[in-house]
Structure 1
Amino acid sequence: MATGQQLGRLLLIKIGDGATPEVYSNLCGLKTRSFNMSANEIDTTVPSCTNPGGPVQKTSRPGISNRTFSGSGAFVAGAAMTTFMGYVRSASAFNAQVVVPGDGTYEGSWMITDFSFEGDVEPNMEFSATFVAAGELTFTAEV
């Protein structure tokens, strides 16, 4: 695994083209991006049967895990963006890789849960998107 500080711009999402073998291309234009890993908390707290009036220790176990990537930036036309927009318009799952510098790559089926275009009079058009795992992901640690 890499040591030291990592560049935020290397936190990437690579979109699969659906071919066999699958070819992944960086989703270009992202200026801000984040990758969230979380799990639901399942409460397993049980008051003491021998001392029901005593203090109760809260206990939990992990529940459903969630992996979400979000990003926003300049809309840059090209082959990868055309493929990506096809997935957005059809609301279909697609293969992608999230590359987290210093950690590794999360690969599998993803879907877009939120997408928007933004633009003012002078600046270039921008977009934002939220990606959620649509199936079980595989993790390959960075070497």
Structure 2
Amino acid sequence: MRTLITGVDADGKSCVLSQDKLTLDRLAPGFAMGIPFATSTSPPPQRPLGAAPLIDQGIDPGLARWMVVELGPDSETPMHHTDTLDLQTVLSGSVDLMLDDGAHRLTQGDLVVLTGVDHAWRGGPDGCRLSAVLIGTPPPETEAAPR
């Protein structure tokens, strides 16, 4: 199980900041747990400025929405950014997470933390099903102009 955490580089371009294998710690016989990501403030920190169009999820800072998303085979979304911190798990299939630093192939069991950065999705050859928990974030001081 891989965990990708997104952010922006020194030029403000969306990228993968870290990519690690999730380790599960055995806490008791038959019970193990791992923490792929945690916030330290509530609501979560402000998202970075986005250059792609904003998709307003309508979730106030600190509130959450859990949803399941399906992408058909080879389907694509346009590049966009959101006003949320998204915690996503690939339930089935595969998908390419498109960031300014390129495509990142995700497969069943992979985890991704999207910090409101510019991104797009491209479904794999068999499509993809994602579980997504969206947490509203405060807006940045100013929004960037659309590309």
What's the TM-score, normalizing by structure 1?
A: 0.31
Structure number with greater CO (CA < 8 Å, separation at least 6) is 2
Structure that is richer in helix per residue: 1
What's the TM-score, normalizing by structure 2?
A: 0.30
> Which has the larger Rg?
1
